[in-house]
């Protein structure tokens, strides 16, 4: 309806304008003196209508101009908003990387072993094995079997190397094993990897029962890992006096899905 009404109003305005122009020319003739007065009174309503139409057209033009201006402003603000979101994401990522690097450097200073810091550049396509790809390899002194940690604790070990990269088998791999002791009770056990939470099988000891909240820390028993690396916190314990071992779940201090930096221990040889 609106699109039909607009051409009618425009046509009407043009017809009235042409009529007024013709009358203006004719009214200047001397023989039209009497006619001028009559025409003026007769055309007064038409003149008022033309003025109204002209005002309406001017108002519509102003509205369309305002709409176009608002559309441009909205596009500009949308672009600025997207840019601010990008900057915030970059700042958050940089803050996270800086925090990971600080923890890694703190660990290096306190650990007492020679280490190489590597960046995580990929993650294994098999979610079950939970491997990491890092940007350091044999040219940097890395060898298969070397222990890999983060600023928070144990990650796993190097599985294979290339000249400029390596694959890390994390504790989440079902083949992973790590001998640990519990920080509160001192009980010994073995952490077993898997797709879910890490499990630990704890040896029974008369008068001692594992409890939630204890830290599982590498014991050094078996020579697979150096003593003192944090693995995680015990969050669930299943105890039975009739069993030879207790079962517990450990909340791992590392999350392979979010690790960005790792530390490879280059001067510890697993036995």
pLDDT tens-digit map of 228-263: 999 999 999 988 877 788 889 999 999 888 888 899
pLDDT of residue 124: 83
Dihedral angle, C-alpha 88, 92, 93, 98, nearest 10 °? 140
Cα 49 off chain centre by: 62
Write the DSSP string, 18-50: HHHHHHHHHHTSGGGHHHHHHHHHHHHHHHHHH
C-alpha radius of gyration, the chain, whole number = 41
CATH class of 112-171+260-265: mainly beta
Residue 74 is predicted with a pLDDT of 78
Residue 157 in this model has a pLDDT that exceeds 90? yes
Look at the block and give the residue holding tokens 């309503």.
45
Tell whether the model's pLDDT for residue 166 goes beyond 90.
yes
Percent of the chain with pLDDT over 90: 36
User: Is-above-0.75 flag for pTM?
Assistant: no
Is the pLDDT at 194 greater than 90? The verdict is: no
pLDDT of residue 208: 81
The predicted pLDDT at position 69 comes to 78
User: Looking at the domain covering 177-252, what would its CATH class be?
Assistant: mainly beta
Answer whether residue 57 shows pLDDT above 70.
Answer: no
By DSSP bridging, strand 115-123 and strand 131-134 are antiparallel
Interatomic CA distance for residues 62 and 71, integer angstroms: 14
Least confident of 102-106, 141-145, 266-270: 102-106
Is the per-residue pLDDT at 189 higher than 90? Answer: yes
Mean pLDDT, the chain, rounded, equals 78
Q: Does residue 268 have a pLDDT over 60?
A: yes
188: pLDDT strictly greater than 80 = yes
pLDDT for residue 64 = 65
pLDDT recorded at residue 167: 96
**Residue 130 — very low, low, confident or very high, per pLDDT cuts 50/70/90?**
confident
pLDDT band at 143 (very low <50, low <70, confident <90, very high): very high
- Answer whether residue 137 shows pLDDT above 70: yes
pLDDT greater than 70 at residue 23: no
Highest mean pLDDT among 70-74, 94-98, 196-200, 233-237: 233-237
Name which residue leads in pLDDT, 94 or 153.
Answer: 153
Q: What is the pLDDT of residue 122?
A: 92
């Amino acid at each position: 309806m609106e699109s039909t009404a607009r051409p009618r109003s425009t046509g009407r305005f043009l017809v009235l304008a042409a009529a007024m122009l013709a009358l203006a020319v004719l009214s200047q003739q001397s023989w039209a003196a009497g006619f001028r007065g009559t025409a003026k009174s007769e055309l007064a309503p038409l003149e008022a209508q033309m003025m109204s139409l002209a005002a309406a057209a001017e108002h519509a033009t102003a509205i369309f101009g305002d709409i176009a201006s608002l559309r441009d402003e909205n596009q500009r603000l949308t672009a600025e908003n997207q840019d601010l979101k990008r900057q915030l994401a970059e700042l958050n990522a940089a803050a996270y990387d800086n925090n990971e690097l600080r923890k890694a450097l703190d660990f290096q200073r306190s650990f007492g072993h020679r280490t190489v810091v590597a960046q995580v550049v990929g993650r294994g396509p098999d979610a079950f094995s939970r491997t990491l790809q890092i940007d350091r390899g044999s040219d940097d002194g890395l060898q298969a079997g070397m222990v890999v940690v983060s600023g928070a604790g144990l990650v796993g070990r190097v599985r294979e190397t290339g000249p400029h990269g390596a694959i890390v088998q994390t504790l989440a791999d079902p083949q992973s094993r790590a001998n640990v002791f519990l920080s509160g009770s001192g009980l010994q056990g073995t952490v077993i990897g898997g797709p879910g939470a890490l499990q630990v099988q704890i040896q029974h000891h008369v008068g001692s029962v594992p409890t939630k909240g204890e830290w599982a820390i590498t014991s050094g028993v078996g020579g697979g890992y150096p003593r003192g690396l944090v693995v995680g916190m015990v969050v669930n314990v299943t105890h039975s006096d009739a069993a030879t071992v207790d079962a517990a779940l450990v909340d791992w201090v590392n999350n392979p899905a979010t690790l960005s930096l790792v530390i490879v221990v280059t001067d510890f040889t697993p036995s």
